[in-house]
Copies of this chain bind each other. A is one copy, B any other.
Amino acid sequence: MAQGIIENLITQLTKLPGIGRKTAQRLAFFILTMQTEDAKAIAESIVDVKDKARFCSICFNITDKDPCNICSDSSRDKSRICVVEEPSNIIAVERTRIFDGTYHVLLGALSPLDGVTPDRLKITELVNRLQLNNVSEVILATNPNTKGEMTARYITEIIKPFNVRVTRIAYGLPIGSDIEFADEVTLSKALEGRREL
């Protein structure tokens, strides 16, 4: 093919999920027109992540320093732990700006058929945190699907002896949605979870 380096960039970009040849081509030619420093900043941020990213030894969030920014932030409420499946879920919860506690990343959800048994998740580490710290509430923010649900129930059982308040994020209709198009399961959960006004 014609352009060695461009072709190489296009090929490299297609390795990313959801980026086919046409998108990769568009991105490559955009990168060509970018300021050199801006383009190199993208490259550096990729290298940085691969060189420096590791798990926080407390909450298993991905971080470049250990403990992570949240765990080492003295203004965060250490008595509340929000349990999530993946580090990316933390970003989603953080974006709400209504939670000032800490997190615990399980690094997955129970799925015995796929070989994901409790010992594969960071559940023991969560229990250790309960024993060491004065934790008042564990918020289970695993996904509202079969695996996440099973994981939440399993953790609830495990945590019971510690006399800690265990909560589950609410199910219901998403804001901005339409009852007419809601699926039955979500709608029944929304009815079950109704609250006094």
Q: Looking at chain A, what size class is its interface with the partner chain?
A: 35 or more
Is there an interface contact between A3 and B61, defined as CB atoms closer than 8 Å?
yes
Is there an interface contact between B47 and A6, defined as CB atoms closer than 8 Å?
no
As for how many copies of this chain the complex holds, the number is 2
The segment from A33-41, A130-138, A185-193 found at the interface with B is: A33-41
Q: Can you name 19 extra interface pairs (CB under 8 A) apart from A9-B46, A13-B42, A40-B50?
A: A1-B91, A1-B94, A3-B68, A5-B49, A5-B52, A5-B53, A5-B64, A7-B91, A8-B45, A8-B48, A10-B91, A15-B34, A15-B38, A28-B49, A29-B86, A29-B87, A31-B46, A32-B62, A39-B47
State the A residues within 8 Å of B (CB).
1-13, 15-19, 23, 25-32, 34, 36, 38-50, 52-53, 61-65, 68-70, 86-88, 90-91, 94
